[in-house]
Chain A
Amino acid sequence: MKLFEELLKKESEYFTRRHFLRQGSLGLGVAALASLMGCKNPLSQSSVTRYTGSAHNLVPKAKRIIFLHMAGAPSQLDLFDYKPLLHQLDGKECPQSLLEGKRFAFITGVPEMLGPQFSFNQYGQSGSWVSELLPHFTEVVDDVLFMKSLHTEEFNHAPAQLFMHTGSPRLGRPSFGSWVNYGLGSENENLPGFVVMVSGQSAPSGGKSLWGSGFLPSIHQGVEFRSKGDPVLFVSNPDGVPRNVRRAVTDAINQINETAYQEVGDPEILTRMAQYEMAFKMQMSVPQATDIGDEPDYIHQLYGTEPGKVSFANNCLLARRLAERGVRFIQLYHRGWDSHGSNDFENLHGGFKTRCTEIDQAMTALVKDLKQRGMLEDTLVVWGGEFGRTPMQENRQGKTNPFKGRDHHGNAFTMWMTGAGVKTGISYGETDEIGYDGISGKIHIHDLQATLLHQLGLNHEKLTYQFQGRDFRLTDVHGKVVKEILT
Chain B
Amino acid sequence: MNFPCHRGVLILAVIAVIKFSSCSNSGDTIDFNTQVRPILNKNCMSCHGGVRQNGGLSFLFPEMAVDTLDSGNFAIVPGSTKKSVLIDRIQQQDPELRMPPEGPGLTEEEIGILADWIKQGARWDNHWAYKPPDPGIQAPELEHSELSNPIDRFVADKLNKEGLAPSTKADKATLLRRVSFDLVGLPPSKEMADEFLADNSSQAYERVVDKLLASPHYGERWAAFWLDLARYADSQGYQKDNLRPTMWLYRDWVINAFNQDMPFDQFTIEQLAGDLLVNPTEDQLLATAFHRNTMNNDEGGTDDEEFRVAAVLDRVNTTFEVWQGTTMGCVQCHTHPYDPIKHEEYYKVYAFFNNTQDSDKTSDVPNAMLLSTPQRDLKARYEQEIKKFRASGDTVNNTYQEALKKYFSIKPLKVPVMKEMPADSSRMSHVFVRGNWLVHGDEVQPSVPEALSQPLSENPSNRLELAQWLVDPQNPLTARVMVNRLWEQMFGRGLVETLEDFGSQGSMPVYPGLLDWMAIQFIHQHQWKFKPLLKQIVLSETYQQSSSVSPELLELDPYNRFLARGPRVRLSAEQIRDQALAVSGLLNQRVYGPSVMPLQPEGVWNVIRHVERWETPKDPENQNRRALYTFWRRVSPYPSMMTFDATSREFCVSRRIRTNTPLQAFVTLNDPVFFNATKVLAVNMHRVSDNLEKQIEYGFKQTLYRRPTESELQSLTALFGKTLNVYQQQPLQVTEITNGVDIRTPEMAAIINLAAVILNLNETITKG
Interface on A for B, CB 8 Å cutoff? 18, 21-22, 36-37, 39-41, 43-46, 48-49, 103-106, 155-159, 170-172, 198, 202-209, 212, 215, 217-219, 223-224, 226, 228-230, 232-242, 244-246, 248-249, 251-253, 255-257, 259-260, 263-269, 271-273, 275-276, 278-279, 282, 408, 468-470
**In the bound complex, do residue A226 and residue B660 qualify as a contact, i.e. CB atoms below 8 Å apart?**
no
**In the bound complex, do residue B733 and residue A204 qualify as a contact, i.e. CB atoms below 8 Å apart?**
no
Of the candidate stretches B57-65, B215-223, B295-303, the one touching chain A is B295-303
B461 to chain A minimum Cβ distance, whole angstroms, is 27
> Contacts A234-B670, A252-B757; is A45 near B739 (CB within 8 Å)?
no
- Residues of B574-601 whose CB lies within 8 A of A: 601
Of the candidate stretches B154-162, B358-366, B544-552, the one touching chain A is B544-552
Closest chain B residue to A246 by CB distance? B669
**In the bound complex, do residue A238 and residue B737 qualify as a contact, i.e. CB atoms below 8 Å apart?**
yes
- Residues of B609-663 whose CB lies within 8 A of A: 609, 634-636, 639-640, 642-643, 645, 648, 650-651, 653, 657-663
B638 to chain A minimum Cβ distance, whole angstroms, is 11
B337 at the interface (CB under 8 A from A): yes
Give the complex CA separation of A259 and B708 in angstroms. Answer: 12
Show 13 residue pairs from A and B whose CB-CB distance is below 8 angstroms, ordered by the A residue.
A159-B299, A203-B606, A203-B607, A218-B642, A234-B666, A235-B670, A240-B734, A240-B739, A249-B760, A256-B757, A263-B548, A271-B660, A469-B505
B730 at the interface (CB under 8 A from A): yes
Closest chain A residue to B718 by CB distance? A252
**In the bound complex, do residue A266 and residue B659 qualify as a contact, i.e. CB atoms below 8 Å apart?**
no
B538 at the interface (CB under 8 A from A): no
**In the bound complex, do residue B607 and residue A204 qualify as a contact, i.e. CB atoms below 8 Å apart?**
yes
What number of A-B contacts does a CB cutoff of 8 Å give? 252
Those 5 A-B pairs whose CB atoms lie nearest each other, nearest first: A240-B737, A207-B635, A105-B301, A469-B327, A240-B736
Residue-by-residue, is B489-517 near A (CB-CB < 8 Å gives 1, otherwise 0)? 00000000000110101100000000000
A271 to chain B minimum Cβ distance, whole angstroms, is 5
**In the bound complex, do residue B299 and residue A279 qualify as a contact, i.e. CB atoms below 8 Å apart?**
no
Set B338, B636, B749: member contacting A208, Cβ < 8 A: B636
- Residues of B541-568 whose CB lies within 8 A of A: 547-551, 554-555, 558-559, 568
B228 at the interface (CB under 8 A from A): no
**In the bound complex, do residue A249 and residue B753 qualify as a contact, i.e. CB atoms below 8 Å apart?**
yes
**In the bound complex, do residue B310 and residue A170 qualify as a contact, i.e. CB atoms below 8 Å apart?**
yes
| Residues of A close to B711: CB separation below 8 A | 255-256, 259
Set B505, B648, B658, B712: member contacting A259, Cβ < 8 A: B712
**In the bound complex, do residue B737 and residue A239 qualify as a contact, i.e. CB atoms below 8 Å apart?**
yes
Residue-by-residue, is B736-760 near A (CB-CB < 8 Å gives 1, otherwise 0)? 1111000000000100010011001
Of the candidate stretches B19-27, B84-92, B236-244, B246-254, the one touching chain A is B236-244
**In the bound complex, do residue B608 and residue A203 qualify as a contact, i.e. CB atoms below 8 Å apart?**
yes
Closest chain B residue to A263 by CB distance? B548
**In the bound complex, do residue B761 and residue A233 qualify as a contact, i.e. CB atoms below 8 Å apart?**
no
B67 at the interface (CB under 8 A from A): no
> Contacts A105-B300, A264-B547; is A218 near B645 (CB within 8 Å)?
yes
**In the bound complex, do residue A217 and residue B657 qualify as a contact, i.e. CB atoms below 8 Å apart?**
yes
**In the bound complex, do residue B603 and residue A228 qualify as a contact, i.e. CB atoms below 8 Å apart?**
yes
Closest chain A residue to B637 by CB distance? A208
**In the bound complex, do residue B239 and residue A207 qualify as a contact, i.e. CB atoms below 8 Å apart?**
yes
| Residues of A close to B321: CB separation below 8 A | 468
- Chain B interface residue count, CB cutoff 8 Å, equals 101
Interface on B for A, CB 8 Å cutoff? 237-239, 241, 295, 297, 299-303, 310, 317, 321, 327, 329-330, 337-339, 500-501, 503, 505-506, 547-551, 554-555, 558-559, 568, 570, 601-604, 606-609, 634-636, 639-640, 642-643, 645, 648, 650-651, 653, 657-667, 669-672, 675, 709, 711-712, 715-716, 718-719, 722-723, 726-727, 730, 733-739, 749, 753, 756-757, 760-763, 766, 768
Give the complex CA separation of A234 and B663 in angstroms. Answer: 8
> Contacts A207-B608, A264-B768; is A470 near B329 (CB within 8 Å)?
yes
A325 to chain B minimum Cβ distance, whole angstroms, is 16
A273 to chain B minimum Cβ distance, whole angstroms, is 8
**In the bound complex, do residue A468 and residue B658 qualify as a contact, i.e. CB atoms below 8 Å apart?**
no
Most chain B C-beta atoms within 10 Å of own C-beta, residue among A204, A246, A272: A272
**In the bound complex, do residue B659 and residue A158 qualify as a contact, i.e. CB atoms below 8 Å apart?**
no
**In the bound complex, do residue B558 and residue A43 qualify as a contact, i.e. CB atoms below 8 Å apart?**
yes
**In the bound complex, do residue A106 and residue B300 qualify as a contact, i.e. CB atoms below 8 Å apart?**
yes
| Residues of B close to A43: CB separation below 8 A | 554, 558-559
| Residues of A close to B337: CB separation below 8 A | 470
Set A22, A156, A238, A273: member contacting B670, Cβ < 8 A: A238
Extra contacts, 9 of them, besides A36-B662, A234-B670, A268-B766 (Cβ < 8 A), are A44-B660, A106-B300, A204-B607, A228-B602, A233-B604, A234-B663, A259-B711, A267-B554, A275-B660
| Residues of B close to A242: CB separation below 8 A | 726, 730, 733
| Residues of B close to A226: CB separation below 8 A | 603
> Contacts A236-B670, A249-B756; is A171 near B659 (CB within 8 Å)?
no
Give the complex CA separation of A264 and B671 in angstroms. Answer: 29
Closest chain A residue to B327 by CB distance? A469
Give the complex CA separation of A487 and B574 in angstroms. Answer: 51
**In the bound complex, do residue A172 and residue B664 qualify as a contact, i.e. CB atoms below 8 Å apart?**
no
A312 to chain B minimum Cβ distance, whole angstroms, is 16
Set B601, B660, B719, B763: member contacting A252, Cβ < 8 A: B719
**In the bound complex, do residue A233 and residue B607 qualify as a contact, i.e. CB atoms below 8 Å apart?**
no
Set B301, B645, B675, B739: member contacting A156, Cβ < 8 A: B301
Give the complex CA separation of A361 and B501 in angstroms. Answer: 52
Give the complex CA separation of A104 and B299 in angstroms. Answer: 13
**In the bound complex, do residue A155 and residue B603 qualify as a contact, i.e. CB atoms below 8 Å apart?**
no
Set B555, B558, B609, B669: member contacting A203, Cβ < 8 A: B609
Closest chain A residue to B607 by CB distance? A203
> Contacts A44-B660, A248-B723, A252-B757; is A171 near B327 (CB within 8 Å)?
no
Give the complex CA separation of A62 and B239 in angstroms. Answer: 32
**In the bound complex, do residue B659 and residue A218 qualify as a contact, i.e. CB atoms below 8 Å apart?**
yes
| Residues of A close to B658: CB separation below 8 A | 44-45
> Contacts A218-B657, A218-B659, A272-B762; is A208 near B607 (CB within 8 Å)?
yes
Give the complex CA separation of A240 and B718 in angstroms. Answer: 19
**In the bound complex, do residue B763 and residue A172 qualify as a contact, i.e. CB atoms below 8 Å apart?**
no
**In the bound complex, do residue B670 and residue A260 qualify as a contact, i.e. CB atoms below 8 Å apart?**
no
Give the complex CA separation of A157 and B671 in angstroms. Answer: 33
> Contacts A207-B607, A240-B736, A265-B551; is A245 near B726 (CB within 8 Å)?
yes
> Contacts A156-B302, A264-B549; is A205 near B657 (CB within 8 Å)?
no
Set B651, B675, B733, B763: member contacting A260, Cβ < 8 A: B763
Give the complex CA separation of A207 and B642 in angstroms. Answer: 15
B38 to chain A minimum Cβ distance, whole angstroms, is 16
**In the bound complex, do residue B659 and residue A279 qualify as a contact, i.e. CB atoms below 8 Å apart?**
no
**In the bound complex, do residue A468 and residue B500 qualify as a contact, i.e. CB atoms below 8 Å apart?**
yes
Set A37, A224, A240: member contacting B738, Cβ < 8 A: A240
**In the bound complex, do residue B736 and residue A232 qualify as a contact, i.e. CB atoms below 8 Å apart?**
no
Closest chain B residue to A190 by CB distance? B662
**In the bound complex, do residue B675 and residue A229 qualify as a contact, i.e. CB atoms below 8 Å apart?**
no
> Contacts A240-B737, A242-B726, A279-B665; is A469 near B757 (CB within 8 Å)?
no
**In the bound complex, do residue A232 and residue B663 qualify as a contact, i.e. CB atoms below 8 Å apart?**
yes
Closest chain B residue to A226 by CB distance? B603
**In the bound complex, do residue B608 and residue A256 qualify as a contact, i.e. CB atoms below 8 Å apart?**
no
Closest chain A residue to B645 by CB distance? A218
Closest chain B residue to A18 by CB distance? B558
A20 to chain B minimum Cβ distance, whole angstroms, is 12
| Residues of A close to B651: CB separation below 8 A | 171-172
B764 to chain A minimum Cβ distance, whole angstroms, is 10
**In the bound complex, do residue A45 and residue B657 qualify as a contact, i.e. CB atoms below 8 Å apart?**
yes
| Residues of B close to A106: CB separation below 8 A | 300-301
Closest chain A residue to B295 by CB distance? A171
> Contacts A44-B658, A207-B607, A207-B608; is A470 near B330 (CB within 8 Å)?
yes
Give the complex CA separation of A4 and B545 in angstroms. Answer: 32
Set A18, A171, A202, A217: member contacting B634, Cβ < 8 A: A171
